[in-house]
């Protein structure tokens, strides 16, 4: 797994124009929905963090992925036309996930992280 020091460097290495455009667009949607999110690189891919990982994005040879963790299960109906696994949503760069769905997923994950952070603070 190649190490990248920034999301910009990662995106520069995505050679498939459609995949790079899809990830760049998703990045802008995520940043708009979560303006306080910190962009990092983890597991060789761009991640967005608020009180922990919210989502990650990545390009692969034949698809792109959004990594929202366990939240995939909460959107099973909306994701029925996509290939999913326990924590991953795969999609064609030619047909990215709908913007409203991306926003809903990242908001739910960020809200969960915030609730956990508040709860953790209460128990200290």
User: CATH code at 41?
Assistant: 3.90.1150.200
Tell me the residue range of the domain where 62 lies.
Answer: 7-123
Q: Is residue 26 part of a domain?
A: yes
Q: Is residue 2 part of a domain?
A: no
pTM of the model: 0.91
User: What total of structural domains would you count in the chain?
Assistant: 1
pLDDT tier at 2, thresholds 50, 70, 90: low
CB < 8 Å & 24+ apart, contacts of 44-53: 44/1, 44/2, 44/3, 44/4, 44/10, 45/10, 46/7, 46/10, 46/11, 48/106, 50/110, 50/113, 50/114, 51/113, 51/114, 51/116, 51/117, 52/113, 52/116, 52/117, 53/113
Q: Is residue 1 part of a domain?
A: no
pLDDT tens-digit readout, 78-112: 999 999 999 999 999 999 999 999 999 999 999 99
């Amino acid at each position: 797994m190649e190490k990248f020091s920034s999301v910009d460097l990662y995106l520069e290495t995505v050679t498939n124009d459609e995949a790079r455009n899809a990830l760049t667009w998703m990045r802008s949607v995520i940043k708009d929905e979560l303006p306080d999110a910190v962009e990092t690189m983890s597991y060789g891919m761009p991640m967005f963090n608020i009180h922990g990982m919210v989502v990650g994005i990545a390009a692969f040879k034949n698809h792109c992925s959004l990594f929202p963790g366990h939240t995939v299960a909460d959107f099973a109906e909306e994701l029925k036309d996509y290939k999913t696994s326990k924590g991953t949503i795969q999609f064609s760069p030619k047909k990215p996930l709908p913007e409203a769905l991306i926003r809903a997923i990242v908001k739910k994950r960020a809200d969960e992280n915030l609730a956990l952070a508040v709860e953790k603070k209460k128990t200290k």
